[in-house]
Structure 1
């Protein structure tokens, strides 16, 4: 298959995510951890524009400082584009422009959203007509969170987080996010979790052999009840993230002291997510956090997965 002589620009939008419940098993022989996660996509999106080009290139824009992001073949979006081209036999390239809104290295899967959006954008641009099942398989080769960014909505993830089962969720949940000026490396947070468990052997619950998502989490989502959900959100990576970024403790206490039903470090952090009772409560919390000097964002969940914007 060869590139079209004249191709339009394709615009795709993909969501960031929250891990509402995240259990991490002990480290396996391959160095990875088996996990069990309840994912929800949130209304904070990455926007990707794709245009046919002889080469594979990417540039960034948006409200987030992207000056440190790689634009060579190590970039996950470019890897996604090359993977799709190799899979389909497409012989051209693509010029990508990505507007970033999801915090970088913030535990919300922004890079994964870029990759998922790129798969969808290039498939539409190149007219390769890859099935959704094939796209999911390609996404899983790129990273554990990429398949969920492709899928969106609400899901349970097992294995490395990429084995997804859709979950029912009623209505919308209202969140206030507090990004951090610093990023945290996901592998580094996992290593700190392993060390934390070693340091506190006997004082904390051992790592689960086969982690699962608590059924009460799924009941709370099906009921659309934020108060129920607040009682059961959990993140095994939070202790490690707080050890590496202790200032997040103050952020959590501030949010929970100003009306949040619960606060949690998102994924590997350092973004902190506060669950609120409704939209009015979210506005009040956003104002309270802003007055204390925090950049606070209001979002809702669930949100749709990667899709073409017409």
Structure 2
């Protein structure tokens, strides 16, 4: 991980807003084992960051006050905006928001309260299996670190990220990576391809804990160790979309489709329209379709729109993890 340098810009006692971008993730491989004693499921997963991103802007008090008097008086305010097809009302703005929790954890590390404002501009669906909340947390860590001149080490950022949630460390690193443990132990892997995906989000989210509970119901004898990802890792090294399509895998897909049968119909429709392979993303309900090229992806998106899906996205991968896009100084 190479987050933006945090102590290199002199601010002469005043920190201006800092905007950091973090990407959605898809799971190219998601192997799930039986629950551990702590209740978490052991995972072997291969993450890929794709070009569907949220932006998080951190502003310290003093600078936030100049824009809005409502930000004065201490504490941290979280403001959420974004695409009109996203259910923004479903995004909490208190400590339940992972970006807010990231601010608390980062402040605790440095023995101070981070007072100011976080503006989250969302393009990643809520509860869509794309780790949008985790992306926001990762972006908040990097943005707050720079805005407050904290100079936090990479190791500490990754440790806080792992405490916040299983997907947050990957959102910091980005690219393509192997995740183990409960997904929080992340190692970048060789990936020579440029991959094109069509995504079909669902306006009604799907609860990740509910999907895991349903997985346990469907597979009470799941092995303690999840399936390995060796075949998929080999396909990534070829750079060939057809090879990758053959190895895509998601142990949660059956549970997600059993809860939402229309997802199975969507995958069948996408594959019948020419997708190399369709897959539920993570715990769903977003479905992703691998294509051979950008033109192929645009053609498939058009076909799915014509078939009645009004919200179809095209994105490529792999892209960078949480990174600075604007320092307003």
State the TM bucket, normalised to the shorter chain.
over 0.9
CA–CA separation in structure 2 for the residues paired with 1:183 and 1:250: 17
Counterpart of 2:78? 58
Give SS of 1:180's match: coil
1:169 to 175, 191, 197: 191
CA distance in 2 between partners of 1:62 and 1:86 (Å): 29
Instruction: Name the CA shift for 1:52/1:248 in 2 (closer, same or farther; >3 Å).
Output: same
Return the offset for 1:208. Answer: 3.0
| Structure 1 residue runs without a partner (length 5+) | 199-205
- Contact residue 201 and residue 287 of structure 2 kept, 8 A: yes
1:6, distance to aligned residue in structure 2 (A): 2.5
Provide the residue aligned with 1:47 in structure 2: 55
Shift of 1:138: 0.5
Q: TM-score, normalised by structure 1?
A: 0.94
1:300 pairs, out of 275, 291, 316, with 316
Query: Superposition RMSD on alpha carbons, in Å?
Result: 1.3
Give the Cα–Cα distance (whole angstroms) in 1 for the partners of residues 252 and 293 of structure 2: 27
1:226 to 241, 244, 250: 241
Residue 257 of structure 1 is aligned with which of 272, 293, 297?
A: 272
Q: Does the CA-based 8 Å contact 2:236-2:244 persist in structure 1?
A: yes
- 2:90 touches 2:126 (CA, 8 Å); kept in 1? no
Rounded to whole Å, the distance in 2 between the matches of 1:171 and 1:159 is: 26
- How far apart are the structure 1 equivalents of 2:116 and 2:98? 14
* Deviation sequence 1:83-122 (CA, Å, 0-9, x none): 0011012344130010111110000000000000000000
Segments of 5+ residues of structure 2 without an aligned counterpart are: 1-10, 62-73
**Alignment pair present for 1:278 and 2:293:** yes
For residues 110 and 238 of structure 2, the distance between their equivalents in structure 1, rounded to whole angstroms, comes to 42
3-state DSSP of counterpart to 2:219? helix
Residue in structure 1 matched with residue 8 of structure 2 by the alignment = none
Q: Per-residue deviation at 1:70?
A: 1.2
| Higher mean displacement: 60-69 or 76-85 | 60-69
- Equivalent pair of 1:40/1:154 in contact (CA under 8 Å): yes
Superposition pairs for residues 148-187 of structure 1, below 5 Å?
Answer: 148-187=170-209
2:28 counterpart residue number? 20
**2 CA distance for matches of 1:161 and 1:40?**
13
Hey, what's the Cα distance between the residues in 2 that align with 1:4 and 1:50?
18
Q: Greater shift after overlay, 86-95 or 153-162? A: 86-95
Give 1:24-43 correspondences, 5 Å limit: 24-43=32-51
Aligned length: 301
Aligned: 1:75 with 2:90: no
| Separation in 2, partners of 1:243, 1:23 | 18
Cα deviation for residue 212 of structure 1 reads 4.5
> Matched residues in 2 for 1:196 and 1:4: separation?
59
Alpha-carbon distance in structure 2 between the residues aligned to 1:104 and 1:137: 25
Q: Give the deviation of 1:134 after TM superposition.
A: 1.1
